[in-house]
Chains A and B, each alone.
Chain A
Amino acid sequence: MTTELLRQKTGRYICGLSLPSEKRQIQTWLSCTDHKQQLSQEEREAIENEIVAQVQAYVVSTLFEPKPESWWKKVTAFF
């Protein structure tokens, strides 16, 4: 497969326009879970802490500066 073909295939997959065979090929590739590298506990914790810190920073910033919610969001949250 060439990069151009992969670009077209992924583009169609994102738009939901891919052929069944293309869809199957991409989904099979996504299902291949061959983990080549195992990180140490320290490295794992460092990555975890970094991602969690970034998420926390964003979450806290939205609480201080909340976006105006639309009326339908409030109604669905109520139910």
Chain B
Amino acid sequence: MRRNFTPDQTLIDKLLLDDTTAIEELSRRYCYPLYSYCMSKLNSKEDSKKIVRNIFISLWESRSTLPIDFSISTHLYTEVRRAVIQCINIKLNKEIDVPAIEEGIIPGFSITELIKAKLPIHHTKESNDQTSLVNKGSYEELSQENKPAFKIKELKHSLQKMLNLW
């Protein structure tokens, strides 16, 4: 998979020049986090994909009117939150997937669930394991890299030899 490290602001500047690679890169960068957020809220793959796609399309449409100090991540997360609420409202108005909303979304509005938003984020076991593996690997590599090329005893011995020669 191709990835580049162009800053977001440069990509936004390129949007003004109708550069399609810029919107492609931005959508690659942000589509999965946005999709994951929508999925956690709506629990619907189709709706999540539709929301994320529409957000990037509206970004492309409004490229000529973006402000100078535009923060792409703030904009995208504001849009996705608004879109999630709109999606729920449309579904309830049209009475689509009402049982799914009753089971999956409404319990999230209970006090016990809302209190979780104020708690510190705990990483899952899987992610901790992955992090520890990465840390372990990097530590071992680093410790091997930083290992002295010679021992202190050998250094002392060679110094003594030199002194004897002098």
Residues of A within 8 A of B (CB): 1-3, 6-7, 10-11, 13-14, 25-26, 28-39, 44-45, 47-48, 50-52, 54-56, 58-60, 62-63, 69, 73-74, 76-77
Q: A38-B126, A69-B64 are in contact. List 18 more A-B contacts (CB 8 A).
A: A1-B106, A6-B105, A6-B109, A7-B92, A10-B89, A14-B82, A14-B85, A14-B86, A29-B113, A34-B116, A37-B39, A47-B35, A51-B35, A55-B24, A55-B53, A58-B57, A73-B65, A74-B64
A29/B20 contact (C-beta < 8 A), A48-B28, A48-B31, A55-B53 known: no
Interface string of B73-105 (1 = CB under 8 A from A): 000000001101110110011000010011001
Across-interface contacts of A2 in B (CB, < 8 A): 106
Q: Does B70 contact A (CB under 8 A)?
A: no
Tell me the interface secondary structure of chain A in the complex: helix
A61 to B62, CA, bound (A): 16
CB-CB < 8 A to B14: which residues of A?
none
* Contact (Cβ within 8 A) A36 B41: no
> Please, could you name 7 A-B residue pairs with CB atoms under 8 Å apart, sorted by A?
A1-B106, A3-B102, A7-B93, A31-B117, A56-B23, A58-B53, A76-B64
Number of interface residues, chain B, beta carbon within 8 A:
50
Residues of B within 8 A of A (CB): 1, 16, 18, 20, 23-24, 27-28, 31-32, 35-37, 39-41, 49, 52-53, 56-57, 60-61, 64-65, 81-82, 84-86, 88-89, 92-93, 98, 101-102, 105-106, 108-110, 113-114, 116-118, 121, 124, 126
Decide: B52 and A63 in contact? CB cutoff 8 A. Answer: no
Option from B20, B39, B116, B124 in Cβ contact (under 8 Å) with A56? B20
Q: How far is the CA of A10 from the CA of B109 in the complex (A)?
A: 12
Bound CA span A59–B110, Å: 41
